[in-house]
Structure 1
Amino acid sequence: MDLHQHVLVVPCPAQGHVTPLIKLAYSLAYHGIKVTFANSEFIHAKILDAMSDADKEQCPIRLVTYLDGLELHPDQRTGPGLMDSLKKVMPDNIEKLIKQINQSDNREPITCVIADLTVGWSLEAASKLGLKQVAVWPAGPSCLALALHIPKLINTGVIDENGSPIKNELIRLSEEFPVMDSSELMWCSPVTAQKFLFDISLAIKQATENASIVLCNTFDELDSSSCALIPNILPIGPLPLVKNLNPSVGTFSSQDLTCLNWLDKQPSNSVIYIAFGSTAVFSQKQFNELALGLELSGHSFLWVVRSNIVNGSSPEYPDSFLERTASRGKIVEWAPQEQVLAHTSTSCFFSHCGWNSTMEGLSFGIPFLCWPYFWDQFHNKSYICDKWKVGLSLKYDEDGIISRHEIRTKIDCLLNNDEIKTNGLKLMEDAKKSVNEGGSSYENFGSLIKYLKA
C-alpha cells in the first residue's frame, strides 16, 4: 500500500448519516483504499453494540473516536445542542485525531478527509493540514441545490436573512427542477427551530464550495436537473446496490432477523412494510390511528415500532389490536431494511421518506406511501409522488391527524395502481445499470478512486 491511499471518513453522528458513509467507507476499502472511520465516542459504542462478532472480525476499516464536547451533558445530544457543540469542538478534535494517527502510522499517513457536509467544518482540519477535501451529501441533490441557491432566494425577496418566506409563492431553480412552494423549504420545519436548520443550510453551502468533490448517494438518471446545479458533484449511488456491502453495518440498534423468516412464510407481494426511520415521533392518538388503519386495510404488515416512537412515552396499542392482528402482523423494534425491501413478499413501503430509505425503496422497485416528518423528507416526498410517480402521499384531517380511513384508502389505491408499480420497476432497472460496469455511478466511483490514489 502506497502513501496516497489513506482516508479519514467523518459522518455526522446520527443514524441517517452514519449509514451511507460507512457503506462508502467499506466500498473504498474493497477498492484498496485504507480507511479510518471517525465517530463520536457515544455513536462508536452504539455501533459496536449492534455489530455481530463476525462483522467485527471481517470489518475492513479502522473505527476510531473523537469527543463531541457533550460528555458531561448527554441529554443535549439531539438537534441544536449537538450541532452547536460539534461546531465548536469538531475542527480541533478532528485535527488532533489526524495528527495522532499520522504520528503513530507515519508510513501511511492520512492524505484525504471525506466529511459529511452536515458537519462540513471537519474539512477545516483537512485544509489546515494540506490534505485533500472530499464532501459527502447524505440527502438528495435537490436539497443541496436549494441550499446553494439561498443567496439568490434572499436577493430576489423570496426569503429573509433568517430563511423565513417573505411571500407565499412557487419556486423553480431551473426549467427541469420541480416547482416548490416557498412555505415548504427544507428549513421551514414544523418540528425543529427554523433558524437552526437555516444556519445548517448556510454552513452546508459554504462547505460545498470548499470541497474538491461532492459525493452523493444518487445516480445521474434519477435527478440530472438537480445534479447540474451543483459544482463538482459526483453521484455514486444507489449505495444499497453496490456489490459486497454488508447491509447491516453501521446501524445503532440490533436488527430483528426473525422478520425475514416471517416474510418467507407470506405470499408474494402481500406485506405492507412500515418504518419511519430513527427520529420520527407521533402522538399517542396518531399512533392509534396508524395501528387501526393497518388493521382496517386487511393486509399483512411488518411494522417497525421503536420504543421512543411515541412522543413522551412508550407506545401503547389500541385495545386488543395485537390479538386481532396476530395472525397477519409482525412488529419489531428495528429491521434489516434492505433485506425486507428486497424480499418478494413485500408489496409497499410506508415511509418517512428519509433519503436512505428513499434510495433503498427505489433500488428494489417498491411503491411508497409517504409520511414525511421534517427537513429534506418533504422534498423527497414531492419527488416520489410528483416527479418519479412511484408513490402516494397522505392527507391530514382538520384536526391535524392522518386518520385510519385515509390510511386504509391510500393503501388500497397504492396497491391497485399499476402505473406506480411500472414506474418503480423502471427506476429499479435504471438504478442497477448505474452501479454495474459501464454505468454512470460505476464510472464516477472509478474517478473517485483515481483521485484518491493520485
Structure 2
Amino acid sequence: MAPHVLVIPFPAQGHVTATVKLAELLFRAGLFVTFVNTEHIQNRLLGSSDPTFGRLSRLPNFRFCTIPDGLPEDDPRSLIDFARLEESLRTRSREHYRELLVPGGAGGRDAAGWPPRVTCVVADGLLALALEVAEEMDVPVMLLRSTSACSVWALCSIPKLVECGDIGIPEEVDMDGLVQGVAGMESFLRRRDLPSVIRNVKSAADSYLQFLIMINKNLSRSRALILNTTEYLDSLVLPHIATVCPVIYTVGPLQNLLRSFGSGHPSQEEDEDDGGASYSASLWQKDMSCLKWLDSQPDKSVVYVSFGSITVVSREELVEFWHGLVGSGRPFLWVIRPDMVEAGAETVPFELETATRERGCLVAWAPQEEVLAHPSVGCFLTHSGWNSTLESIVAGVPMICWPFFADQQINSRFVSEVWKVGVDMKDLCGRSVVEGMVRKVMDGGDVGEELRKSATEMSHVARRAAEEGGSSYTNFQKLVDHIKSFELTNK
C-alpha cells in the first residue's frame, strides 16, 4: 500500500492555495493523500466552482475530509484575528482531528484495509493542534509554512528583537531606523519592514507575540520544515532558519513544480478541465472575462492591481488609489473583492467611473496566475502576500508593493532591496505617490528598465529550480523519500 499523508492547511485562502498544490504533488509522487479542510472552507470551495477541487475529488487516491472550526456559522472569521481561529481549532476541534488519525476512523476502511493508516502529517505551521495530537499518537509531522522564508526567520527572531528593544515600538520612533535583531538583515531591514504582527504589538507580553513564540518552538519539534521557495531566492535566510529546524525542503515555486511532475501522470486527464493552467483552489468565483479584456490591450501596458484575500481599505484609500491609477494614464485591471472596502465606501467620484470605463477593468476576483502570465501585463500593484509575490516573480512581472498584514511588510522589503524586482510603497497611498510609482515602473526610464531586466532574470532562475534536475525538483524527491522512510520504519 502507498504511504498515506494527511495534509491540513490553516483555513485561509493563501494557506489553502499553497497547501493544495503541495498535496497534489504528493499524490503525483504516488502517495495516498487525505486533505483536511474546515467545513466552512470546504463549503466555500464548493461554492466557488473552482476546477481544482473537482479535479482532485475525482482522483482515486486523493480524498477530502472536513473538521469543524468551532465557530458559529455566521462568524465573520476575520483572518486579521488569526490567533482566535487557531485557538478555536485547537480547543474545539481536537477530537474531530484525532479521529482522522485513528486507523479505520472517520469513514472507516474497506475489507482490503483501504485507505491505509496515516504514515505522516503535513500540517500548516500555524496549527499547533495538528502537531500536538499527532505527537500524542506517535505520527510523524512535517510543517509547511506557506508564508515567506524571510518572515519565518523574522518571527523566529522575536526573542532577539525583544532584547534589542525593537518590540513595542514607541509611536514617536523613527520607523526608518534599522533593526539589529534579525541576523542577516541588519543592513537593510527597517522597523517599518517588520511583519505587522511584530511591528504593531505594544509590549513583549502581547498575546499575539506569545502565540507566535509558541508556533516558532514547534518548528524544532517537527521532522522537517517545507517552504514554497527556492534555495537561490532565500539563500540569505535559509542557513539561519536551519539553526532552528535543521531539515528544510525548499520546493517552490509549487505551481511550476506541479507542471514538471504532471506529464504522463494519471491526473493528466483531469487537468484537461482547465488546461492545467491554474492550481489555485480559489474560495471566490473567478471572473474569466478579464482575460478577454487583457487580449485587447498592448503588450506590457496594463497595471494589474490586487490586494489579495484579506486586505481591507477605507473609502479614502480607495479613492486615492483610483486617482493615482487614472492619473498614470495606463490601462488597469483591478480586483476589488466584495468585502475589500470598508462599509459605506461603495460610491466613488463620477470622474473616476468615467475614466475607468475608458481604460479600466474591475472584477471581484481574477485568475491571477493567468493574468500575470498575460503578455499585456506590465506591472503588479500588490499587497505582497507570499503567493502573489512568488507568482509575480515566476511571471517576470515587476511589482509595486503596498503591504497590509502579516509577512507582507518584510516581503515588500525583500522585493525592493534584496531581489530588486519591484518598488516598495508601504505606508503610503496618496494619489501622487501611486501615480509616480506606476510611471516609474512602467515608463521606459532607467529604473523601469532595470526592474524589468531583474524580474526577467529572477523568473528564469525560479523556473529552472522547479524543472527536472533543479534544486526544488530534487528537494521534492528527497521529501517524498523522507515520507516513505516513515512507512518503512513503521513496518
- Alignment TM-score, normalising by the size of structure 2: 0.85
Amino acid at match of 2:165: V
Structure 1 residue 414: Cα displacement: 0.9
Number of equivalenced pairs: 444
Q: Select the residue among 89, 106, 109 that pairs with 1:104.
A: 109
Bigger shift: 221-230 or 307-316? 307-316
Q: Which residue number corresponds to residue 153 of structure 1?
A: 161
Which of 385, 401, 406 is the matching residue for 1:354? 385
Change (3 A) 1:314 1:247: farther
Matched residue, 2:95: 92
Higher mean C-alpha deviation, range 325-334 or range 440-449: 325-334
Once the two structures are superposed, the pairs formed by residues 266-345 of structure 1 within 5 Å of their partners are 266-313=297-344, 315-345=346-376
2:225 corresponds to:
214
How far has the Cα of 1:196 moved from its partner?
A: 4.4
Residue 240 of structure 1, aligned match among 255, 260, 264: 255
Q: For 1:47 and 1:53, how far apart are their aligned partners in 2?
A: 10
Q: Secondary structure at the match of 1:214?
A: strand
Structure 1 residues 136-168: Cα deviation after superposition (integer angstroms, max 9, x where no partner):
0111111111222223334x3435xxx424887
SS in 2 for 1:409: helix
Q: Deviations over 1:208-254 (max 9, x none)?
A: 11111100010000011211112222110011222146525411001
Of 409, 427, 431, which residue of structure 2 is paired with 1:404? 431
CA gap of 1:116–1:283, structure 2 versus 1, over 3 A, is same
* Structure 1: tracts of 5 or more residues without a match: none
Out of 40, 44, 47, which is 2:45 matched to? 47
Does 2:466 match 1:435?
Answer: yes
Match of 1:188 among 190, 194, 198: 198
* SS class of match (2:278): coil
Residues 256 and 452 from structure 1, CA distance in 2 versus in 1: closer, same or farther, beyond 3 angstroms?
same
CA distance 1:422–1:85, change in 2 (3 Å): same
Distance of aligned partners of 1:198 and 1:246 in 2 relative to their CA distance in 1, 3 Å threshold: farther
| Deviation for aligned residue 1:318 | 1.9
Name the counterpart of 2:421: 390
8 Å Cα contact 1:15/1:251 also seen in 2? yes
2:339 partner SS: coil
- In the alignment, does 2:204 pair up with 1:200? no
Is the 8 Å Cα contact of residues 169 and 199 (structure 2) preserved in structure 1?
no
Aligned partner letter, 1:238: P
Tell me, yes or no, if structure 1 residue 130 matches structure 2 residue 138. Answer: yes
Asked if the contact 1:9–1:113 (Cα under 8 Å) also holds between the matched residues in 2, the reply is: yes
Confirm whether residue 421 of structure 1 aligns to residue 436 of structure 2.
no
1:113 is aligned to 2:114: no
**Structure 2 letter corresponding to 1:380:** N
Whole-Å separation in 2 of the counterparts to 1:255 and 1:321: 24
Q: Give the distance between the partners of 1:304 and 1:140, measured in 2 at CA.
A: 23
Residue number in structure 2 paired with 1:66:
67
SS at match of 2:237: helix
Q: Which amino acid aligns with 1:188?
A: I
Deviation digits for residues 73-121 of structure 1 (CA, Å, limit 9, x no counterpart): 6245541432331232344331122222484364411111100001133
Maintained 8 Å contact 2:402/2:426: no
Q: CA deviation at 1:62?
A: 1.2
Query: Following the alignment from structure 2 to structure 1, what is the Cα–Cα distance between the partners of residues 190 and 425?
Result: 18
| Structure 1 equivalent of residue 188 of structure 2 | 179
The change in CA–CA distance for 1:97 and 1:165 in structure 2 (over 3 A counts) is same
Deviation at 1:405, TM superposition (A): 1.4
Q: Is the 8 A contact 1:271 1:299 kept in 2?
A: yes
Q: Return the TM-score normalized by structure 1.
A: 0.91
Q: Tell me the distance in 1 between the aligned counterparts of 2:200 and 2:364.
A: 26
Q: Which runs of 4+ in 1 moved over 4 A?
A: 52-55, 165-169, 175-178, 189-194
Amino acid at match of 1:200: F
Q: CA deviation at 1:452?
A: 1.4
Whether the 8 Å CA contact 2:192–2:199 is kept in 1: the answer is no
Who is 1:26 aligned against? Answer: 24
Amino acid at match of 1:379: I
Q: Report deviation, 1:349.
A: 0.3
Letter in 1 for 2:357: A
Task: Name stretches of at least 5 consecutive residues in structure 2 with no aligned partner.
Answer: 263-275, 486-491
